[in-house]
A and B are shown apart, each in its own frame.
Chain A
Amino acid sequence: MSDNGTGPAGFLKEVVRRQYFWGVVAIVLLLLVNLTKDPSYLSIGWNDANGALVGNLVDILRAAAPIMMISIGMCLVIATSGIDLSVGSVMVIAGAVSMQFLAAAPNTFAGAMAALGLALLVSAVVGLVNGILVSVVGLQPFISTLIMMLAGRGIAKVITGGQNTSAVNDSFRWIANGYLFGLPVVFLLALAIVVLVGLLVRRSALGLMIEAIGMDPQAARLAGVNRRGLLLAVYSISGLLSGVAGVFATASVMTVDISRTGYQLEMDAILAVVIGGTSLAGGKFNLTGATVGALLIATLDKTVVFLGVSSSATPAFKAVVIVVLCLIQSDRVRQLLRSRRTTGSRPSRKEAVAA
Chain B
Amino acid sequence: MTAATMTESRSSTSLKDWIKLRLELLPTLAALVIFIAMVIYGEVAYGRIVQMSTMSNLLINNSHLIIIAVGMTFVIITGGIDLSVGAVIAFTSVAGVMLTNAGWNGWLVVLLMVAMGGLFGVVSGVLVQYFNVQPFIATLAMMFLARGLASMLSTVPERLAADASILALATQFKIIDGPKVNDLIITPGVIIALVVVLVAMFLLHRTRTGRTVYAIGGSEQSAQLMGLPVHATKMWVYVISGLLAGVAAVVYTSRLGIAQNITGIGWELDAIAATVIGGTLLTGGVGFVLGSVVGSLVLGLMIVLITRDGGIPPEATTIITGGILLVFVLLQRLVLARQRD
Direct A–B contact present (CB less than 8 angstroms) = yes
Measured CB to CB, the residues of A under 8 A from B are 83, 85, 133, 137-140, 142-144, 146-148, 150-151, 153-155, 157-158, 161-162, 264, 267, 270, 280-281, 309-310, 312-320, 322-323, 326-327, 330-333
Q: How far is the CB of B115 from chain A (nearest CB, A)?
A: 19
Contacts of B152 in A (CB 8 A): 309-310, 313, 316
B136 located at the interface, meaning its Cβ lies under 8 Å from any Cβ of chain A in the complex: yes
| Given known A-B contacts A137-B330, A155-B319, A313-B152, A143 and B282 have beta carbons under 8 A apart | yes
Known contacts A313-B151, A316-B148; A150/B322 CB under 8 A: yes
A138's nearest neighbour on chain B, judged by CB, is B333
Say if the beta carbon of B140 comes within 8 Å of chain A. yes
Residues of A within 8 A of B317 (CB): 154
The answer to whether A320 and B316 have CB atoms under 8 Å apart is: no
Interface assignment of B133: CB less than 8 Å from any CB of chain A: yes
**Nearest 8 pairs between A and B by C-beta?**
A316-B148, A151-B322, A157-B315, A319-B145, A154-B318, A312-B151, A315-B148, A315-B144
Whether A326 contacts B127 in the complex (CB less than 8 A), given A147-B325, A158-B313, A315-B147, comes out as: yes
Most chain B beta carbons < 10 A, residue from A147, A281, A320: A147
Choose among A83, A137, A267, A331 the residue that contacts B144 (Cβ–Cβ < 8 A): A267
Given A310-B151, A332-B131, 17 more contacts at CB 8 Å? A83-B137, A133-B326, A139-B333, A140-B282, A150-B269, A150-B322, A151-B319, A151-B322, A264-B144, A267-B144, A310-B155, A312-B261, A315-B151, A319-B145, A320-B145, A323-B141, A330-B133
Complex contacts, A155 vs chain B, CB 8 Å: 319
A142 with B133: CB separation less than 8 A:
no
Contacts of A317 in B (CB 8 A): 148
Does B140 contact A267, Cβ atoms closer than 8 Å?
A: yes
Give Cα distance in the complex from A333 to B130, angstroms. 10
Assign chain B's interface to a size class: 35 or more
Q: Identify B319's interface contact among A158, A267, A310, A316, CB under 8 A.
A: A158
Of chain B, the residue at the smallest CB distance from A141 is B136
Interface centre among A313, A315, A317, A333 (most CB of B within 10 A): A315
- Decide yes or no whether B138 CB sits under 8 A from chain A: yes
A318 to B141, CA, bound (A): 8
- Inside 8 A of A331's CB, which chain B residues have their CB? 132
Contacts A137-B330, A330-B133 given: A312-B318 contact, CB under 8 Å?
A: no
User: In the bound complex, what is the Cα–Cα distance between A322 and B137 (angstroms)?
Assistant: 9
27 A/B residue pairs, CB under 8 Å, sorted by A:
A133-B326, A139-B329, A140-B282, A142-B81, A143-B81, A143-B329, A151-B318, A151-B321, A151-B323, A153-B318, A154-B319, A158-B313, A161-B313, A162-B315, A280-B133, A281-B134, A310-B152, A310-B155, A313-B151, A315-B148, A316-B145, A316-B147, A319-B145, A319-B148, A322-B144, A330-B131, A330-B133
